Amino acid sequence: MAAERTNDANRHHMERGASGLMHSVTYELRPVLCGKPHCGKLHGPYWYAFWTSGGKVRTLYIGRAFKLVSDKAPDKLR
């Protein structure tokens, strides 16, 4: 079950984790600064997922193609 609000760079979903609990997951497209010496260019943008678990904000790199966390790594949502 997924409820979604969408704009160009952000998506918000309610997803069921491996424990059966619902989690609010926010997805963002973010440019990434190249880590190579002397490059300094922005690459991407790449999708990232953010959610709160155990009082901490968790982050998961998704990649160039959008995927739900529950599809990419269902064990991450606890």
How far is residue 23's CA from residue 29's CA, in Å, rounded to a whole number? 20
Tokens of 71: 């599809």
What percent of the chain shows pLDDT beyond 70? 63
Tokens of 59: 């982050």
How far is residue 35's CA from residue 12's CA, in Å, rounded to a whole number? 29
pLDDT tens digit string along 12-48? Answer: 666 666 566 666 888 999 999 988 988 889 999 999 9
pLDDT of the residue at 20: 61
The model's confidence at residue 52, banded by pLDDT at 50, 70 and 90, is confident
